[in-house]
Amino acid sequence: MMPFFNALCQALLLLYVLCSACAPQQQGPQVITRPTDTTRPATQTATPEVRGVWLTLAGSTVFDSRQNIATAMRILKEHGFNTVFPVVWARGYTLWRSQRMEREFGMPIGAQFGSRDVLRETIEEARLQGLAVIPWFEYGFATFNSALGTPPGAILAKYPQWACIGRDGQIVVKNGFYWMNALDSTVQNFMTDLIMEVVNNYDIDGIQGDDRMPAMPSEGGYDSATVTRYRRETGRAAPQDFKDSAWVAWRANKLTEWLARLRQTVKARKSSLIFAMSPSPFPFGQVEYLQDSPTWMQRGLVDLLSTQLYRRDLPSYQTLLVQLQSQMPISARRKMAPGVLGRADPFIASAQLLSDCITANRTAGMIGSAIFYYEALTPNNNENARALRQGVYRLDAAFPRDSLLRP
């Protein structure tokens, strides 16, 4: 009898185990997870930040065709970038079809572009990839470079009275660039008109100045109108020392006043546009080019500041970054995406250096980074771009519009 009873118990136990395995479990909701696909980027997103790249004319073929533009936008999107700064004003011509330039100089766009509208093509291709577009007025108040043709270029040839004048009475030429007088109201209005053509006619996310806007070499300002104005307002003659601190500060303040007026004009037309600037580091930028960027930020004139911290090694970059932090209000850091040097032929930054600079910006509380320029990413089958995507840009990040526009 006992062997039969033991066998029966074992059979019942086996039946219970089989039924329990088939029955639905009642231990609460169960999370269904998808197996990790290690061959694809993670689908999470990072904190919004500026991941910008400048698109240039020098050393670049991006703007040679619409197909090239489309390829560049796709590559940037695929590798985690979210912002492009395409050049639209350089070498004395525009990359959009400008009514003002056509009327004044018979040049609606750079001659090499024929009937194209390069800015419009760039915007349309960038929008297909979800990229923010902030046109970059690279040349600012400079109109011509001596390496590009016969000086002084079409603009100053027609309007010599627009020229920036040095203490020797001649046009100021600095590092090969011929300059307009950025303190002259007619010249200021000309630049404002060009900028507002872009603001009024294109679907953009903002506009960006440069180390040449607002700017003027400190060697300039010796035209009769400016020196007369300086004497009237200060009671002093313009000094022969063009780096005299009071003379520098007075002229820099005049450029800051124009910047404030420009911002007001842009914002009155489209308040949602990002008002961006990319000056030289302070105090170099003020002493050499009358750019008082700390005052710009203290007065709340700039939504996005990409100071050009262009150095070829990490310690030098970090030194400039620390200086930048010390010069700006703490609240301004969420409006700063410093410029990182990626290429200056023959120099091309390594992926490690680019990654380290981006990480340094994040650690310093900046809102992002901007790389100069696109062709730093593309050699060797986009080697640097791929390295960034696998590392610091592994997760996608949205463009931080709301944070930048917040006072």
pLDDT in tens, 227-241: 999 999 999 999 999
Share of the chain above pLDDT 70, in %: 89
CATH of the structural domain 54-140+183-405, one choice from 2.130.10.10, 3.30.565.10, 3.40.50.1970, 3.20.20.80: 3.20.20.80
pLDDT digits (tens, 9 = 90+) for 288-301: 999 999 999 999 99
**15-24 mean pLDDT:** 38
pLDDT digits (tens, 9 = 90+) for 102-130: 999 999 999 999 999 999 999 999 999 99
pLDDT at position 284, please? 98
Three-state secondary structure readout of the chain: CHHHHHHHHHHHHHHHHHHHHHCCCCCCCCCCCCCCCCCCCCCCECCCCEEEEEECCCCCCHHHCHHHHHHHHHHHHHCCCCEEEEECEECCEECCCCHHHHHHHCCCCCHHHCCCCHHHHHHHHHHHCCCEECCECCCCCEEEEHHHCCCCCHHHHHCHHHECEECCCCECEECCEEEECCCCHHHHHHHHHHHHHHHHHCCCCEEECECCECCCCCCECCCHHHHHHHHHHHCCCCCCCCCCHHHHHHHHHHHHHHHHHHHHHHHHHCCCCEEEECCCCCCHHHHHHCCCHHHHHHCCCCCEECCECCCCCHHHHHHHHHHHHHHCCHHHHHHECCEEECEECCEECCHHHHHHHHHHHHHCCCCEEEEECHHHCCHHHHHHHHHHHHCCCCCECCCCHHHHHCC
pLDDT-derived band at 44, boundaries 50, 70, 90: confident
Where exactly are the structural domains of the chain? 54-140+183-405
pLDDT-derived band at 43, boundaries 50, 70, 90: low
Higher pLDDT, 235 or 8: 235
pLDDT at position 331, please? 87
Compute the mean pLDDT over every residue in the chain, rounded to the nearest whole number: 91
pTM, two decimals, is 0.89
pLDDT at position 121, please? 98
Range with the poorest average pLDDT among 6-10, 156-160, 318-322, 341-345: 6-10
